[in-house]
A and B are shown apart, each in its own frame.
Chain A
Amino acid sequence: MRRRSLAILAGASALVSAFPGAGRKARAEEPPIRIGCSITQTGPYAAPAIFELQGYQLAVEEVNRGGGLLGRRVEIVVYDDQGNPSTAVQLYQKLIYSDKVDLLLSPYETDLMSAVAPIVTRARIVMPSLGANVDAFQGQYPYLIQAITQTPRYMVPFVDLAATRGYKTIALLIQNTQFPQELAQGIEAEAKARGMSIVFRATYPPTTTDFSALVLKAAAAQPDVIIGATYLADAEGIVRAAKAQNIQAKMFAFSIGPVEPEFGSALGPAAEGILGTTLYFPTLHTKGNEAFVAAFTAKFGRAPDYHAAVAYASLKVLAAAVAKVGKLDQDAIRDALLHMETDTVAGHFALSPTGLQIGYTSYVLQWQKGKQELVWPADQATAPLIDPHPAW
């Protein structure tokens, strides 16, 4: 049960962090350019969102050090939405109509972004958005542009890996919620394109805790690969059920799950050899990544994760578009973004005419000796792939 309702009456404990001008070149007489957003700083969903905020903060600091934007200093106006969509809506209303910020950034994650989409669109302000769902970027919200890998692409590199290794058959287990369903469509399309066949497909409710019968049945179809369109708890449940019943497959891969450090602590040796998807990795050979990881680690005392990387990249891309346009004209900034193709720390950034992200992709990681290693695509690998999955 989600406990977002707790936050409703608690009100918006505003936390405004401003960054005093580090850039000497910025002209002091002009007021700063203010970029507004809400971030989940407290509550159950705060952990990834704080990475995002830190990504924004680092990007702003770098923009100011480089002389600011349009010759003006940049500062962020941040409020805490506590993970509550209705709070986020109020805060974006405040940012737009009361604070009158110049630019907007996105909250995290999809349901918060979707909640503020209508008011951002009504105010005609561009917002690089950290929501992976496809439906928000089909033309309905022309001022949103997607700054994170779109959901159907999450596991495309994994299907590519499996096809490259010569595997032909897939068992697909899908959590019956929006994100995994959309993700599974991407898997099925790619599998078809690569001549692989889905020999077993089942959906299960998010409350499922016992996967023993489901995994037995999937194994009866004798698939080469077992893929889960999952979150963390269900990915662990499927791995547990497979190991405890000696179910063998050449590869086990999950969308969300293996990317979380808790996957390793919860499963211990059972995590060994399991494959997963990540949108970012500190070792990626993307443009500027080495400097980004160094600066982020120096500033915040921990390595950036993908939330930090996509947030950092989204602010950098927005700043580049504003600089290109030369003024704070939202329609012109949107057009500049839609036509901008650029390389960021999170990968190649490119948009469809409706703002759907068609550049960013994902990477395949594998748990090896209690650590996550990148194994695919080959040019980004940090360790050779373990294949096939060793006996349990």
Chain B
Amino acid sequence: MGTLVSLLLLGLMWGGVYLLMAQGLNLIYGVMRVVNLAHGDLIVMGGLIAFSLFHHAGLSPLLALAPVFALLFVLGLLIAAGVLERIEEEGPRGELRTLFATFGLSYLLANTSFLIWGGQFQSIPFLQGALVLGPLTLPEGLAAASAAAFALALLLHLFLERTLTGKTIRAVAQSPLGAAASGIAVRWVRVFTFALGTALAGAAGALVICLVPFQSASGPDLTVQSFTLVALGGLGNMLGAWLAAELLGLIEVFAQYTLGPDAATAAFYLLFILFLIVRPQGLLGQAGRV
């Protein structure tokens, strides 16, 4: 019984971590319709910046969140305004062109990280202890990261629902044409959203590098995982992505315990393939985006 509860909580907490990593990608897709293949590399870069701030300036990853968020926000502005918004999106190959651009960015970012941090795995020793709650022993770092994930998700939700900027973003997501007709500067909203998504990716990296070591080449695996969650949730759907992330966390933990780790990864992706066949729009694909 104790084990069962432990596994349940572990799965839910890892789900939070996966959500943390997928959130930025989801936001960017929801608003810009850009499949950002550089997403994982941005997470890794955020993590490695936090690593440097920890080892060279003694800054704890929680305090590093602010500078990492700011740095990645600026990087996102540059990428969106300098590259993505300059690509002709009209026509049959429009989406393919931005896809290629982000694919190229992925290489550029990964190799920049390599030049700065080298190829070795890096990580931060932070909150490594055990959290003892009665009969349960839970990883405190994992608990902290997933709590941060849920807090960030809530903040993002409130931002999108309650603020004017958030409403503007949702307007652009729902209908760029309608938004433009109402006097919204669609292009700048898209640039801002991309920067926000990039900053969220960086913040996720700063927290996750305390749990999972990153190397400069770790990005593409994270992109695939995040994109799977976003697709399973229903592209651009926040609640859907959260459900998908929890599903991944739970399946992974339970399958790892019962079937063994080799089967655990397969189990989730089999489910994903099944979903693509019977419900291609994802878990909550029909409910409105963002």
Contacts and interface: CB of A to CB of B under 8 A. Distances in A.
15 contacts: A2-B217, A3-B111, A43-B119, A45-B119, A203-B260, A205-B265, A207-B221, A212-B139, A213-B257, A233-B121, A243-B128, A244-B129, A262-B123, A265-B122, A270-B128
Interface in B205-248: 211-213, 215-217, 219-221
A47 interface: yes
A119 interface: no
A392 interface: yes
A183 B221 CA distance: 26
B257 A217 contact: yes
A190 interface: no
A390 interface: no
B257 A216 contact: yes
B138 interface: yes
Given A207-B221, A207-B265, A262-B122, A232 B213 contact: yes
Interface string A264-275: 011111100000
B55 interface: yes
Given A3-B217, A269-B125, 20 more contacts: A1-B219, A6-B107, A44-B215, A209-B211, A209-B212, A213-B256, A214-B256, A216-B7, A240-B128, A240-B139, A241-B139, A243-B129, A244-B129, A244-B140, A244-B142, A245-B6, A245-B137, A245-B138, A265-B125, A270-B128
B130 interface: yes
Contacts of A123: none
Interface of A: 1-3, 6, 43-47, 176, 202-205, 207-210, 212-214, 216-217, 220, 232-233, 236-237, 240-241, 243-246, 260, 262, 265-270, 392
Contact of B213 (A2, A202, A237, A244): A237
A210 B252 contact: yes
Contact of A266 (B125, B141, B256, B260): B125
A201 B216 CA distance: 31
B262 A210 contact: no
B110 A3 contact: yes
B215 A208 contact: no
A45 B121 CA distance: 12
B10 to A, nearest CB: 5
Contacts of A208: 261, 264-265
B114 interface: yes
A246 B130 contact: yes
Interface in B110-152: 110-111, 114, 118-125, 128-130, 132, 137-142
Contact of B125 (A232, A260, A268): A268
B103 interface: no
B253 interface: yes
Contacts, number: 131
Contacts of A269: 125, 128
Interface of B: 3, 6-7, 10, 14, 55, 107, 110-111, 114, 118-125, 128-130, 132, 137-142, 211-213, 215-217, 219-221, 252-254, 256-257, 260-262, 264-265
Contacts of A237: 212-213
B269 to A, nearest CB: 11
A1 B119 contact: no
Contacts of B3: 216, 220
A265 B55 CA distance: 8
Contacts of B132: 246
B260 to A, nearest CB: 5
B265 A266 contact: no
A390 B55 CA distance: 26
Contacts of B122: 262, 265-266
Given A209-B212, A213-B10, A244-B142, A392 B119 contact: no
Given A208-B261, A213-B253, A236 B129 contact: no
Q: Which 10 A-B pairs give the minimum distances between C-beta atoms?
A: A268-B125, A244-B139, A44-B119, A204-B261, A266-B123, A213-B256, A1-B220, A213-B257, A209-B212, A233-B213
A217 to B, nearest CB: 5
Contacts of B123: 236, 262, 265-267
A240 B138 CA distance: 12
B253 to A, nearest CB: 5
Contacts of A233: 121, 212-213, 215
A275 to B, nearest CB: 18
A266 B261 contact: no
Contacts of B119: 43-47
Contacts of B220: 1
Contact of B261 (A1, A3, A214, A246): A214
B219 to A, nearest CB: 8
Q: Which of A209, A232, A241, A392 has the most CB of B within 10 A?
A: A209
Given A1-B220, A237-B213, A232 B138 contact: no
Contacts of A6: 107, 111
Given A2-B217, A212-B10, A392 B130 contact: yes
A309 B261 CA distance: 37
A243 B128 CA distance: 7
Nearest to A267: B125
A262 B55 contact: no
B130 A176 contact: no
A27 to B, nearest CB: 44
Contacts of B141: 240, 244
A176 B7 CA distance: 23
A176 B125 contact: no
Nearest to A239: B128
A232 B121 CA distance: 7
A265 B118 CA distance: 15
A267 B261 contact: no
B253 A236 contact: no
Contacts of B142: 212, 244
Contacts of A267: 123, 125, 128
A368 to B, nearest CB: 16
A265 B217 CA distance: 19
A392 B217 contact: no
A213 B124 CA distance: 22
B120 A47 contact: yes
A265 B252 CA distance: 28
Nearest to A176: B262
